[in-house]
Amino acid sequence: MSNEAVILACDWGTTNLRAWTLDGAGAILAQQDFPLGVGRLAPGEAPARFHAEVRPQLRAEGLPAILCGMVGSNLGWQVAPYADCPAGPDDLASRLVEVGDGVRIVPGLRCAGVAGAPDVMRGEETQIFGWLSGDPARRSGRHLLCHPGTHAKWVLVEDGRIVRFVTAMTGELFAVLSEHSVLRTAAPPDDDDAFDQGLAAAGDGGALAARLFSARARVVGGDAAADSTSSYLSGLLIGAEIAATPRLVGEPPGRVSLIGDARLCGRYRRALTAAGVDVEVFDGEVAAVAGLFALGAPA
């Protein structure tokens, strides 16, 4: 394994930028986080901050760079137009957007949505292709993946290509209800019992607006502790998501691969296991690095 960096890889989101230098085998040589999410930058500011801060701090001034995430949106450096599903790694690699100085941006993906409008993703596709690169067996057959987050993605992969996906705004809904509704409360440490009660209350995922009121009624009309509301609400929302969303992708959830943050994946794993689904969990950062390398490594 060489100790010489060959590429600068960045996952550049709305709130944060995470950067790595990688050697010729894709191993991490250096890494750093920057509070340079595109949502915090003025229009046109991204290139200057990248060259003035990110490159020098990682000693990567002369390296080719590959960027994924919201940096390719209309909030970022330059729009990298969505590629249409079905799409595999080669489809995206051939559509990387050159923005000068050896920098390329990964396109997002688009597919037909559930309500007549398209569904879209930026960044998750790179992690999924990183997951694919980790084991040749994953590049054949059908696989159902879930990427938990503010906007969770349920993704059907077939023979190494993303066929379709559905977005669930579960994380954002949890944040809004927790901070701006009658359900707002201080968030104590995870309460597994309350989370499991929320899972049970989710039922088949239908009539969610009615089920949500149980998070308040159990406290004001029963004997549940107010500080259990956050965990109960989390269980109810995640339970409703896993009950209703996978069938919108068209794949029965007999087995699900979770990719993402360890804590959040742990919540989804608990919910899916309770529903009788076999689950594997994969680290999102490892998948992002592998995907960026697979898409952008020098020939």
41-53 residues labelled b (16+ CB within 10 A) or e (exposed)? beeeebeebbeee
d(CA 16, CA 11): 8
pTM reported for the whole predicted model: 0.94
CATH 3.30.420.310 residue ranges for the chain = 112-299
Looking at domain 1-79, its CATH architecture is 2-Layer Sandwich (3.30)
How many C-alpha atoms does 91 have within 13 Å on its Cβ side?
Answer: 19
CATH match for 112-299 among 1.10.10.200, 3.30.420.310, 3.30.300.30, 3.40.50.1950: 3.30.420.310
In this prediction, residue 2 carries a pLDDT of 62
**Segments of the chain scoring below 70 in pLDDT:** 1-2
In this prediction, residue 35 carries a pLDDT of 96
d(CA 253, CA 222): 34
For 48-67, how does the pLDDT look when each residue is reduced to its tens digit (9 = 90+)?
999 999 999 999 999 999 99
